[in-house]
């Protein structure tokens, strides 16, 4: 229990207001709070003199502010100011500053003007169109955009391709998916991926095997793919459809109407192929050297699946194999006949050489006999002339 004290309370310190202020001061309006009371409003009850002072509540520690650089602050402030805009222009209507669209030049006039372009100018036009295109451009699309005839466009493309191929350029010109496209050089792929912050697109061995079967045997059904690989391919085919490397071509006319699958334009662009005829043949697979096979095996993601030889064996069909065997047998028979003919020719040549040597020996013997003096006429022979 606190002891009484003679210290006046806050109410005693402030004189009562009866509507009139001290001399020389204006009366406060009714209902207004005096400034002195508002400025120094003490607590309702003063603590005792000998009572310990109450502990002041500690203010909660503020969370440390995240470190923001000056450049980021300036960017945030500029973005905020851009959102607010200029208040003085809120009531002003925007003026029309765009020029009316010009009418497109008729193709006949464009083609007539294109005939007067030099070969170098045509090459720059083609290069510009290839740079602007987001996908491979066909020669017909270039002709429609420039008016230049197809022959001059093909010459310009050939020259551009040689320029990018021969010189040290970071850009190459490829003929892919039936068109032409400028692409980054494969030598600089690491720098391009680092700048774009993208990961290299790689396919698993299962995806590569399934895609190879579809590419070489299309149109092909899913049961046919699974019959070659020996495993379920549903998930892999679905992933290839999502990547737009495979598309549905239709349904096969047989019981069950299975779906037929084939490759897409994106497949040609992904593998930088001009068309499906640019795919390597089975003979080229067989002719791969051991060095190239090791490279292929090393670069292909490792999974439990057969190697290149297994894929080649799966992709080959019986009819083609029978034809190859028949042609191989014919070539072996022809080779045997050729060897027999060469052996007979060698035997005839040796016989001719022996006959020539024998004739030469006889001729030499006759020559020596003619050179030696012969004996006199035999007794009883005809008399010598003039006897």
The per-residue pLDDT for range 292-313, each reduced to its tens digit, is 666 666 665 554 444 555 555 5
Cβ distance 153 to 122 under 8 Å?
Answer: yes
Question: What are 67-82's pLDDT values in tens digits?
Answer: 778 888 888 877 776 6
| pLDDT band per the 50, 70, 90 thresholds, residue 262 | very high
Q: What is the C-alpha radius of gyration for the chain, rounded to an integer number of angstroms?
A: 51
Write down the pLDDT at residue 387. 42
Return the residue matching tokens 């022959």: 151
173 in Cβ contact with 160 (< 8 Å): yes
Nearest-CA neighbor of 275 among 385, 93, 375, 138? 138
Sheet containing strand 259-263, edge to edge, reads 220-221, 259-263, 246-251
CA angle, 11 then 16 then 22, to 5°: 130
Domains for the chain: give ranges and CATH numbers.
107-196 (1.10.10.10), 205-299 (1.10.10.10)
Task: Tell me if 138 sits within 8 A of 179, measured CB to CB.
Answer: yes
Cα–Cα distances in angstroms (integers) from residue 39 to residues 3, 7, 24, 34, in the given order: 29, 20, 21, 9
Output b/e per residue, 136-151; b: 16+ Cβ within 10 A. bbebeebbebbbbeee
Range in 153-162, 206-215, 331-340 the model is least confident about? 331-340
Characterise 254 by phi-psi region: left (phi > 0), alpha (psi -120 to 50), beta (else).
beta
Side-chain half-sphere exposure of 336, counting CA atoms within 13 A: 5
Start-to-end CA distance of the chain, whole Å, equals 200
Provide the token pair at 133: 């295109």
Using the predicted structure, report yes or no on whether residue 30 has a pLDDT greater than 70: no
User: 306 by DSSP, 3-state: which?
Assistant: coil
What value does the mean pLDDT take over residues 354-370? 83
pTM of the predicted protein model: 0.45
* Closest-CA residue to 154 (of 133, 167, 135, 138): 138
Q: How far is 375 from 68, CA to CA, in rounded Å?
A: 136
Are the CB atoms for 53 and 47 separated by under 8 Å? yes
- Give pLDDT, residue 47: 46
């Amino acid at each position: 229990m606190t002891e009484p004290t003679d210290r006046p309370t806050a109410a005693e310190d402030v004189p009562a207001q009866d509507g009139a202020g001290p001399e020389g001061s204006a009366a406060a309006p009714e209902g207004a709070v005096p400034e002195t009371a508002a400025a120094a409003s003490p607590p309702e009850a003063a603590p005792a003199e000998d009572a310990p002072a109450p502990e002041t509540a500690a203010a909660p520690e503020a969370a440390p502010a995240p470190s923001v650089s000056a450049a980021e602050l300036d960017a945030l402030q500029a973005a905020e100011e851009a959102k607010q805009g200029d208040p003085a222009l809120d009531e002003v209507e925007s003026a029309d500053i765009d020029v009316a669209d010009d009418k497109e030049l008729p193709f006949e006039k464009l083609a007539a003007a294109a005939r007067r372009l030099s070969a170098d100018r045509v090459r720059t036009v083609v290069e510009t169109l290839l740079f602007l295109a987001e996908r491979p451009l066909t020669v017909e699309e270039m002709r429609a955009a420039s008016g230049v005839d197809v022959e001059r466009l093909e010459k310009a493309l050939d020259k551009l391709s040689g320029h990018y191929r021969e010189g040290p350029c970071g850009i190459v010109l490829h003929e892919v998916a039936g068109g032409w496209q400028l692409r980054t050089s494969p030598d600089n792929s690491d720098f391009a991926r680092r700048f774009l912050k993208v990961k290299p697109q790689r396919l698993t061995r299962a995806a590569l095997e399934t895609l190879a079967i579809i590419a070489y045997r299309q149109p092909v059904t899913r049961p046919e793919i699974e019959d070659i690989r020996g495993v379920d391919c549903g998930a892999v085919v679905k992933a290839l459809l999502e990547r737009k490397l495979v598309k549905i071509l239709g349904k096969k006319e047989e019981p069950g109407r299975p779906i037929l699958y084939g490759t897409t334009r994106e497949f040609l662009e992904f593998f930088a192929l001009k068309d499906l005829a640019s795919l390597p043949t089975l003979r080229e697979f067989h002719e791969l050297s051991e060095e190239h096979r090791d490279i292929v095996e090393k670069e292909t993601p490792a999974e439990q699946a057969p190697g290149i030889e297994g894929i080649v064996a799966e992709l080959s069909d019986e009819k083609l194999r029978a034809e190859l065997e028949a042609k191989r047998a014919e070539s072996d028979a022809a080779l045997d006949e050729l060897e027999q003919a060469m052996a007979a020719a060698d035997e005839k040549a040796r016989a001719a050489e022996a006959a020539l040597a024998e004739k030469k020996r006889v001729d030499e013997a006759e020559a020596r006999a003619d050179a030696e003096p012969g004996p006199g006429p035999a007794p009883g022979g005809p008399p010598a002339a003039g006897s």
